């Protein structure tokens, strides 16, 4: 495990401070998506210059509309949106020109979707990723931070999960994210690209899409409970997840972008906590003061049984400290959905 000195940690903190004093140029891929829109908003609110790229395959114009509505005029003028696709190298090359930092969130998410559409998942998540890597090298980007996934741990039984121990992959989506990590390591070694991977653990919050067959569990359940509809719990409900509120993930991205390491590192981004699906339902129902009858169904193919992260490496090297725990995060999320459903 990479261990930073006190001086190096201080430099990270100074870098974060300088971000608010100086304008850098950022590229956020997948800027109309859930995580990407929150990153875009955070950067713009801190007077950074942001180029956003999205093809609206899984992102939404209303996410960008909400971001823009939360900005003042000078902040709005710092945003350039480009509708385009990371599977086009020409597009990636053009949008990375004169960019200091890339926060790469664009991907075709969801384990079930990758099982249904493995070729699409590979095209977006692997080919698109290599395009961004090569464009970043060509255009001398200072640092690239990319979204990996807890799915890379596969069937490894150890809990909590540590970055150095992974198991057999259980889905095409997991394979694409593991390939991202392998390519990132190669591009760091061969091209000296400064790059950091973040293994997200079940990030949730406002703007997360509750619709469709591939919707994440928290927004889907909030919508169904709000509408007094039955929710489905896969398996017996005792499978667990390390749910991470969106503001924690945003904080991790910014700290990773300013990290001082010249080597490729991957970090777990989570709470270091676990919540079963049965517990999750009780928390949401209690906060919404409304209950429905859960329907238990067969486990989903490709799902990991338990997901619980060790975040010591991110704490040590990035000064990452998740400030919003699951109960507060659920409260903030539910309040947003009540206003926007």
Question: Within a domain: residue 212?
Answer: no
Range of the domain at 153: 6-201+245-271+310-323
Report if residue 94 sits inside a domain. yes
Q: Is residue 93 part of a domain?
A: yes
Does the pTM exceed 0.75? yes
**CATH assignment of the domain containing 59:** 3.40.50.720
pLDDT of 4 over the 50 cut: no
Residue 302 domain-assigned (yes or no) = no
pLDDT in tens, 109-163: 888 889 999 999 999 999 999 999 999 999 999 999 999 999 999 989 889 999 9
Query: Residue 67: is its pLDDT beyond 70?
Result: yes
In a domain, 49, yes or no: yes
Nearest to 244 by CA among 275, 284, 287: 275
Asked if the model's pLDDT at residue 22 lies above 90, the reply is no
The number of domains in the chain is 1
List, for residues 189-202, the tens digit of each pLDDT value.
999 999 999 999 99
Active site (catalytic) residues = 173
Does some domain include residue 208? no
pLDDT in tens, 249-279: 999 999 999 998 889 999 999 999 999 999 9
Please check whether residue 63 lies inside any domain of the structure. Answer: yes
pLDDT grade for 291, boundaries at 50, 70 and 90 = confident
């Amino acid at each position: 495990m990479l261990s930073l000195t006190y001086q190096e940690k201080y430099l990270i903190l100074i870098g974060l401070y300088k971000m608010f004093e100086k304008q850098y140029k950022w590229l956020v891929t997948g800027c109309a998506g859930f995580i990407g829109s929150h990153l875009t908003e955070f950067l713009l609110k801190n007077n950074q210059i942001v180029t956003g790229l999205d093809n609206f395959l899984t992102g939404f114009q209303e996410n960008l509309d909400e971001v823009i509505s939360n900005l003042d005029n000078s902040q709005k003028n710092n945003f350039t949106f480009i509708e385009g696709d990371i599977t086009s190298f020409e597009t990636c090359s053009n949008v990375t020109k004169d960019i200091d930092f890339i926060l790469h969130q664009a991907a075709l998410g969801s384990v079930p979707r990758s099982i249904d559409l493995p070729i699409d998942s590979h095209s977006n998540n692997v080919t698109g990723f290599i395009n961004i890597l090569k464009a970043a090298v060509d255009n001398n980007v200072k640092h690239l931070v990319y979204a990996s996934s807890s799915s890379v741990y596969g069937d490894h039984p150890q809990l909590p999960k540590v970055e150095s121990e992974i198991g057999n992959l259980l889905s095409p989506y997991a394979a694409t994210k593991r390939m991202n990590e392998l390519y990132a390591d190669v591009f760091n070694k061969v091209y000296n690209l400064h790059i950091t991977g973040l293994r997200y653990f079940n990030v949730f919050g406002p703007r997360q899409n509750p619709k469709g067959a591939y919707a994440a569990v928290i927004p889907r359940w909030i919508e169904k409970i709000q509408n007094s509809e039955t929710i489905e719990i896969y398996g017996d409900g005792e499978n667990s997840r390390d749910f991470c509120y969106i503001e924690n993930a945003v904080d991790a991205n910014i700290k990773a972008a300013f990290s001082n390491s010249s080597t490729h590192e991957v970090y777990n981004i989570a709470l270091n906590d676990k919540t079963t699906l049965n517990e999750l339902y009780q928390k949401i129902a209690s906060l919404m003061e409304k209950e429905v009858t859960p329907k238990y169904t067969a486990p989903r193919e490709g799902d990991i049984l338990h997901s619980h992260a060790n975040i010591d490496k991110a704490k040590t090297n990035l000064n990452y400290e998740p400030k919003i725990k699951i109960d507060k995060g659920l409260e903030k999320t539910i309040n947003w959905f009540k206003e926007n459903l």
